[in-house]
Structure 1
């Protein structure tokens, strides 16, 4: 590869993290919907409604999407940190980075609670609470991340 190609990759690599994170934000909201439908399937007394909801397999779809979200969140967090380091020669220790790392940890805790949720109401409530906090933090990260993207664009 020549220097121009490497520089182009270096510059555009900075946009992978924010683009994927916006997609994850939307998918996380969809995962919340799937989780709510899964709970509805589990708790409804209407047998006909329950049959219809079971056919839609909300529980497995929620579980599978959550697994994908966890993997992509961890990898994309690392990509964002790597792109920042490659392009700036350092990581900027600020609220966006610290909250993002904290969110990655919370995401893994929420996922780790999954096997315990079937028989433990505390695990289920903890899982839901952590994910609601994550969704709020994700919204805040989206705003602060766009400020960072604007700074990157201004430096181009």
Structure 2
């Protein structure tokens, strides 16, 4: 693989993850609006239902799951291709953990659609944990990116 291509591949994962962090924030906003719609009085609910927040939250959540899995394994693949090994440390382990959290949160969808309140609360808790870890991942990711930038080929 040409050296320039190998080096530039290092930036694919961070760009995808930044976009995914923004998309996850939007998904969270849609989830909050979907809850507001579910719990609103009849008149307010009529207005809020037009926004189709629950449907959009479901669609965005599906996209977030797919991109999280692709981003996690893509980042690991690029690291392995460029270094011949993975660096097992907090960034990698937390990233894998986040992928598990989002998969678990999404797997609760059928129960939530049946009105299971416990599943809904666990879904929210898993996603809040994932978002908290995601913010930490952004900081640790920028530290890694800075090391890559400092060691760029001449």
TM range, smaller chain? over 0.9
1:62 corresponds in structure 2 to 57
Alignment partners' CA distance in 2, 1:7 and 1:61: 41
Question: Would you say how many aligned residue pairs link Structure 1 and Structure 2?
Answer: 151
Q: Distance in 1 between matches of 2:108 and 2:5?
A: 38
Q: Distance in 1 between matches of 2:68 and 2:5?
A: 21
Structure 1: gaps of 5 or more residues = none
Q: What is the TM-score of this pair, normalised by structure 2? A: 0.95
Q: 1:12 matched to which residue of 2? A: 8
Q: Residue in 2 aligned with 1:92?
A: 87
SS for the counterpart of 1:92 is coil
Distance 1:142 1:95 in 2: 12
Instruction: Please report the TM-score for the alignment, with normalisation by the length of structure 1.
Output: 0.94
Mapped partners of 2:74, 2:151: distance in 1: 20
| Aligned position for 1:25 | 21
1:128 counterpart (101, 120, 124)? 124
Partner Cα separation in structure 2 for residue 29 and residue 123 of structure 1: 21
CA RMSD of aligned residues (A): 0.9
